[in-house]
Amino acid sequence: MTTDLQRNWYPIASSSDLPKRHVYQAQLLGREFAVWRADDGNVNVWENRCLHRGVRLSIGINDGHELKCQYHGWRYANRTAGCTYIPAHPADAPARTICNNTYPTQEAYGLVWTGEEATGDVPALDGFADATVLRPIPLNATTDMVSEALVGYKWNESCLGFANADGSVTVSDSNGVSIRFFIQPTDSHRSVIRGIVNSSLSGDARKDALKRHSWLLQELRDQVEAAASQKEMPAPYEPVIARVAEDLVNIPAIREDGPAADLRVTVAEKEMTADDILKVRFESIKGGLPTFQPGAHIDVHLQNGLIRQYSLTNGPGETDHYTIGVKRDPNSRGGSVAIHDDVKKGDVLAISAPRNNFPLRRDAVHTILIAGGIGVTPMIAMARALNVQGLSFEFHYFVQGESHIAFSQEISEFENAISYHMGLSPEETGKKLGEVLSEPGHARHVYVCGPGPMLDATRKTAADQGWADACVHFEYFKNENEVDDSGSFEIDLARSALTLTVNDGQSILEVLRDNGINMPSSCELGACGTCQCGVIEGDVLHQDVYLTDEEKAANKSIMTCVSRAKSKRLILDI
Amino acid sequence: MIKLYDYELSGNCYKLRLLMSFLGLEHEAEPIDFYPGNQHKSPEFRQINPLGQLPVIDDEGLVLRDAQAILVYLASKYDTSENWYPSSDPAILGQVSQWLAFADGITTTASAARLHDAMFYTQIDVDVARAGANKLFRILDEHLYFAELDGQDWICPGDHPTIADIACFPYIMLSEEGGVSRMDYPAIRRWTDRFKRIPGFVVMSGVFPAGPAVEKEAERAA
């Protein structure tokens, strides 16, 4: 139940309480918060508990981009509070629904404000544009008792105080000095006095004022606490902590078929980052953007009706925008050319939430990132995450020439890790890959993204040199294999208790859709992994480039957009 | 080699492990079963320390008790830079001594509350102990708030932490095990982050490490 108090804005910290790489602990109306400032300046006010085992996040580690729980190392992104990595599941991308509760936050008058259900802006305070924030004084008493005492607060004989309608107290003297006191209701019987003076003091004058009021307010505190100790104090608040996200509690709305485009974004920036490569920055029109993890991609729905997938290049904690790289493809079917030529700064586009079918392990002893051409984009995001966490990695960027190097600004964050291999012939590339992959070993992982032939070469070289399949991770831009859609077969849907026929020329995905079965999809070319489905029985004719050879041989899953049945019948886990 | 009569969960023993780690001093530990064995009250141990308390060190035959006294001894003998115990400056020396005594107060309050809650010392009046700890924390929080204002990171003036910081740190950091929250002491909480970033910092059970500071996040890629 929301009370009036929960709709108010309250200051819960001084801005100076939040240096970088620190987690501040706060409480308001009984509810505890972990409060932290990311390196980009954004202040996060979150429920003070890890979603995993409930350990306080205020003892966690603020690495400037993410907040890491001390207990089992779950990491949460700046701004969104979405979980980005779970060390116990290093090969998986955490579900998007694993997201901590966040609370409205504003920074004004040198104070950090929040309120469980606060909306709009922090109330405007006339005369406090240049304020000096006093040292906050916590005390064990109700806000009413504190308010009453503050009305009588005096630093000289001319002081006169009164309570404001919003519960704060103003005290002014005859010299024009005025202090506005806010009373933070930590709990029903505990409060914090947060005062601001109506002038910007500096140097010794500031220090003297801060010392003087710290002393006087502590004297006031001792008196109020002495009085409070004689009184019966109200029972503590019992804030209800939501157990699961609302979208898990409620049945989701029925979605339209086809690739979902839940988000509307504006094109905030569009600039060339290399020859033929465009860097596009999307910002949300309303509300925040969902959490992403390194390796994630989004679907971009273009004005001409085409849908294209692009990897995010964002670093950890960069949660107020998405940035992608788009290469002008001379053989474009209309996607890349449309973005290069037709999309303009300020345009509104529909995009999907990020999906991660190329997750990055963070438990590797050493990680080798290999990028070819525009395949650099997911690698940029991965390298930035590894770099921020101080994990060991090297980055091999195969590129035509210097003018083709994209995202140099982002690369400058991890200059020591990057090697450029420029203008190599296929043979030279193969030889170089042989050197790069010369040392397979325990907990060493390879991630590669680039043109099909280069990926094939990397996977073959890795296999020849003794790398286990499970340690070589890849993402193809597209499926360049000829897809055979001939022949008809039956599919049994085990969970839906339906038997359907896939006819010559149809895909499983189309048949599912025609029969009202919702299946997420993205590239629909067998490259991205989104329309993956479990196989219970039957032989699969794999035609995708997403699954590894080992996974294909296991016959446990299928890409429903391109793959078919070798047998007469497939039983699918859907 | 220095021998430390040690108990893993003792904050007072931890003070010495911290200083020896900061100084890169090797030592051997002789574990004493404080809880539940009560070995520090045994006749054998009382011949080493008649007070029946930990920690005690034996440095080549010199046997010393009392955490603060041992900090003074180890820093004076082994820290040739005189950073940890700046004995040539009377003003600083006075302040270090003042806060060493303050640390003793933290032991009799915050540590006592922890003994009550975590090790079943039921004879301790835990309310009194907690109230005492909060009173001291209020004083230290104000001190550290105004120290920060002067650009001073540590309890005593100067660019380097002193044994006063070491003496105060453990039972403040463990206070929640005795039911004393540090939420009301933001300046103390920031100081504990800085303390954990001192090169050579080691943890003990119940004390977690800090993440890297901003300036430390330099070139780390392989």
Mean of per-residue pLDDT scores for chain B: 94
A17/B211 Cβ within 8 A: no
B145/A62 Cβ within 8 A: no
Are residues A260 and A361 both part of a single domain? Answer: yes
Are residues B189 and B96 both part of a single domain? Answer: yes
Are residues A361 and A324 both part of a single domain? Answer: yes
Looking at residue A243, what is its pLDDT?
Answer: 63
Are residues A391 and A518 both part of a single domain? Answer: no
CATH for A430: 2.40.30.10
In a domain, A214, yes or no: no
In a domain, A241, yes or no: no
Domain boundary among A477, A503, A538: A477
Looking at residue A245, what is its pLDDT?
Answer: 54
Are residues A262 and A404 both part of a single domain? Answer: yes
Looking at residue A465, what is its pLDDT?
Answer: 95
In a domain, B59, yes or no: yes
CATH for A568: 3.10.20.30
B183/A192 Cβ within 8 A: no
Are residues A450 and A539 both part of a single domain? Answer: no
- The model carries a pTM of 0.84
Looking at residue A444, what is its pLDDT?
Answer: 96
Looking at residue B219, what is its pLDDT?
Answer: 41
**What ipTM was predicted for this assembly?**
0.94
Tokens standing for residue B25: 């001093």
Minimal Cβ distance to A416: which of B193, B217, B219: B219
Tokens standing for residue A127: 């005369």
Mean pLDDT of A489-501: 90
In a domain, B213, yes or no: no
pLDDT in tens, A134-151: 999 999 999 999 999 999
Are residues A523 and A396 both part of a single domain? Answer: no
Cα A124 from chain centroid (whole Å): 31
d(CA A203, CA B149): 10
Are residues A469 and A504 both part of a single domain? Answer: no
At residue A248, does pLDDT exceed 90?
no
User: How many domains are there within chain B?
Assistant: 2
Looking at residue A253, what is its pLDDT?
Answer: 45
At residue A121, does pLDDT exceed 60?
yes
Mean pLDDT of A361-378: 96
B21 lies in which domain range? 2-78
Are residues A437 and A559 both part of a single domain? Answer: no
In a domain, A546, yes or no: yes
From chain A, pick out residues whose CB is under 8 angstroms from the CB of B190. Answer: 17, 19, 22
pLDDT in tens, B100-118: 999 999 999 999 999 999 9
In a domain, B209, yes or no: no
CATH for B167: 1.20.1050.10
- Which residue in chain B has the smallest CA separation from A15? B186
Edge-first strand listing for the sheet containing A31-37: A23-28, A31-37, A43-47
Are residues A494 and A418 both part of a single domain? Answer: no
Question: Which amino acid makes up residue A316?
Answer: P
Q: Which residues contact A434 (CB under 8 A, 6 or more apart)?
A: A461, A465
Are residues B64 and B23 both part of a single domain? Answer: yes
CA distance B25 to chain A (A): 28
pLDDT in tens, B138-191: 999 999 999 999 999 999 999 999 999 999 999 999 999 999 999 999 999 999
Are residues A298 and A378 both part of a single domain? Answer: yes
Q: Which residues pair with A332 in a beta bridge?
A: none
- Which residue in chain B has the smallest CA separation from A61? B211
Q: What is the DSSP string of A322-371?
A: EEEEEEPPTT-SSHHHIIIII--TT-EEEEPPPB-SSPPPS--SEEEEEE
In a domain, A223, yes or no: no
A549 lies in which domain range? 489-572
Instruction: Indicate the pLDDT class of residue A258, thresholds 50, 70 and 90.
Output: low
Q: Which residues pair with A366 in a beta bridge?
A: A444
Tokens standing for residue B185: 């002491």
At residue A252, does pLDDT exceed 80?
no
Residue A6 three-state SS = helix
Q: At what angle are helices A203-229 and B126-149 packed, to 10 degrees?
A: 170
User: How many domains are there within chain A?
Assistant: 2
Interface of B with A in 184-203 (CB under 8 A): 184, 186, 189-190, 193
d(CA A49, CA A239): 13
In a domain, B58, yes or no: yes
